[in-house]
Amino acid sequence: MNVADSMRVASSLEKLGYHTTEKPAEADVIILNTCVVRQSAEDKAIGRLSSLKPLKTKNPELVINLMGCMVGVKDNPKLKTRFPFVDVFSPPSDPVPLIHHLLEKEGRIHELDETLARFAYMDGDLVIPDTDQGNLISSFVPVVLGCSHACTYCIIPYRRGIEKSRPPHEILGEAQALIHQGVKEITLLGQIVDRYGADQPDYPTLAGILRRLHSIDGLERIRFLTSHPNYMTDELLDVVAEYPKVMPHIEVPIQAGNDQVLENMRRGYTNQQYRDLIEKIKNRIPGVSIATDIIVGFPGETEQQFQDTVDLLADLKLDVAHLARYSPREGTVSARRMEDDVPDEEKWRRFRLLEELQEGIATGIHATYQNQSVPVLFEEKSKKGRWRGRTETNKLVFAESEQDLHGQLLNVTIDWTGPWSMLGHLIP
Ligand code: SAH
């Protein structure tokens, strides 16, 4: 979501006459787009921000813009006191405070209304920033902003505001604009993407949006993330199964395997319901790949309860598990009401145990690709000079070629597989 938001800000600034530089010391404007989903992300953001202070001291004309979840949608006076060298604070997805500041600084404030009308965040007229123009093969399109689901551990609803689906014409317009600029693959984004339209009675469902996108010429692949188990309808699974451009890859987090922990997280489903859903997905979409998210060491999680997560992962054999150690976030229900009582070393132990388990599972799944021929959409050349692309199931594939494979969808025979990627050669 932040990648998508950053692209929009860069695009807005280019329309104002700015262009990108690689070196912070040369910049007139520096935008730090932040994530605070875990303490580690917040620490990183603070570290980066602090490293910008000397630049501001040296060049008082420099504009520093702090953006995203560290700022949040509500006024945040504490942050302003703590970082007085920041000129502009912007909520997630919102380039307007920065545009306002820059126009004012340049004595162009009279252009504000017209400027905002020309490139509101929601325009279907997104121009890919210069640095990515012509290079970008895969791009994100946010379809649901914010989140109204109150998972007890999660700070996102507090910082990104309530759930809001974007109008279908904006989504389609934006997808069309990206395709005209060379994009071949679009990933629809939402904190709970499968709730698309649920907040707007007149909007289609996510399945409806996927069907409409499917008919855009030049668009080769469509993905969506992240889904919540409770909103994965049969209609959605049918579209993934039946529409060839909709990729057979589902990101649907479980978060924990134990029913009591799930209840404490307020996830709204049980271990068995999740298992049933995975079985249904696998039956309905042959060859599907499935990714999950897991938090270890949630307040009160016992060894026995953790074992339910281990068993679940071992049984379901999902393609990917994004693992996280529980991190109490200010203002969330779990941080206010539940003691962070699983020691850090124990969180690490559980984390490593699942990591190792999942590495074995992924290795096994990838081994089934050996000597198979699969379509790969190539995105770019890696630093080692190999072309990098993805299978329909979102597996990373590298292949050697003298040709320019950028943006090409080609059949590849897989020669080697590992836990995180595969090597293959082009079929002549
Ligand atoms: N809304 C999306 C993405 C949320 S952030 C979703 O529900 O999947 C991505 C992941 O970060 C979450 O799925 C969760 O596993 C993890 N996460 C969120 N809050 C966390 C916290 N307080 N501590 C540790 N991990 C957290």
CA of 391 to the centre of ligand 1 (A): 26
| Rounded average pLDDT over 345-349 | 98
Atom of ligand 1 nearest to the CA of 329: 22
Beta carbon of 255 within 6 Å of any ligand 1 atom:
yes
Asked if 227 and 252 count as a contact pair (C-beta separation under 8 A), the reply is: yes
CA of 198 to the centre of ligand 1 (A): 21
> What is the number of other CB atoms lying within 10 angstroms of the CB of residue 206?
27
pLDDT of residue 126: 85
Q: Whose CA is nearest to atom 11 of ligand 1?
A: 37
Residue whose pair of structure tokens reads 């929601």 in the numeric block:
122
Beta carbon of 112 within 6 Å of any ligand 1 atom:
no
Beta carbon of 195 within 6 Å of any ligand 1 atom:
no
Atom of ligand 1 nearest to the CA of 322: 15
Q: Is the pLDDT of residue 121 over 70?
A: no
pLDDT of residue 127: 87
Beta carbon of 296 within 6 Å of any ligand 1 atom:
no
Q: Is the pLDDT of residue 118 over 80?
A: no
Give the integer Cα–Cα distance in Å for 176 and 214.
Answer: 11
pTM over 0.85: yes
Q: Whose CA is nearest to atom 19 of ligand 1?
A: 154
Atom of ligand 1 nearest to the CA of 251: 8
DSSP helix/strand/coil, 356 = helix
Beta carbon of 335 within 6 Å of any ligand 1 atom:
no
CA of 266 to the centre of ligand 1 (A): 13
Q: Which of 1, 143, 154, 326 to mutate to test the pocket of ligand 1 (most atoms within 8 A of CB)?
A: 154
CA of 251 to the centre of ligand 1 (A): 13
- Mean pLDDT score of the chain: 95
Specify burial of residue 210 (Cβ count, 10 A radius: 0-12, 13-18, 19+): buried
Atom of ligand 1 nearest to the CA of 293: 15
Atom of ligand 1 nearest to the CA of 255: 15
Give the integer Cα–Cα distance in Å for 277 and 263.
Answer: 18
Atom of ligand 1 nearest to the CA of 253: 8
Give the integer Cα–Cα distance in Å for 42 and 54.
Answer: 20
Q: How confident is the model at residue 10 (pLDDT cuts 50, 70, 90)?
A: very high
pLDDT of residue 124: 61
Give the integer Cα–Cα distance in Å for 222 and 248.
Answer: 10
Q: 190-199, pLDDT tens digit by residue? A: 999 999 999 9
CA of 417 to the centre of ligand 1 (A): 29
CA angle 42, 44, 46 (to 5 degrees): 70
Complete DSSP assignment for 127-153: PPPTTTTTT--EEEEE-EES-----TT
DSSP helix/strand/coil, 321 = strand
Helix (H) or strand (E) holding 377: strand 373-381
Q: Which domains does the chain have, with CATH numbers?
A: 2-119 (3.40.50.12160), 130-367 (3.80.30.20), 373-426 (2.40.50.140)
Closest CA to 102 of 150, 64, 52: 64
Beta carbon of 224 within 6 Å of any ligand 1 atom:
no
Range with lowest mean pLDDT among 22-26, 254-258, 352-356, 367-371: 22-26
pLDDT of residue 393: 98
pLDDT of residue 122: 52
Beta carbon of 226 within 6 Å of any ligand 1 atom:
yes
Beta carbon of 103 within 6 Å of any ligand 1 atom:
no
CA of 154 to the centre of ligand 1 (A): 6
Q: Whose CA is nearest to atom 5 of ligand 1?
A: 37
CA of 303 to the centre of ligand 1 (A): 21
Q: 152-204, pLDDT tens digit by residue? A: 999 999 999 999 999 999 999 999 999 999 999 999 999 999 999 999 999 99
Q: Is the pLDDT of residue 318 over 80?
A: yes
CA of 206 to the centre of ligand 1 (A): 22
Beta carbon of 157 within 6 Å of any ligand 1 atom:
no
Q: Quote the percentage of the chain above a pLDDT of 70.
A: 99
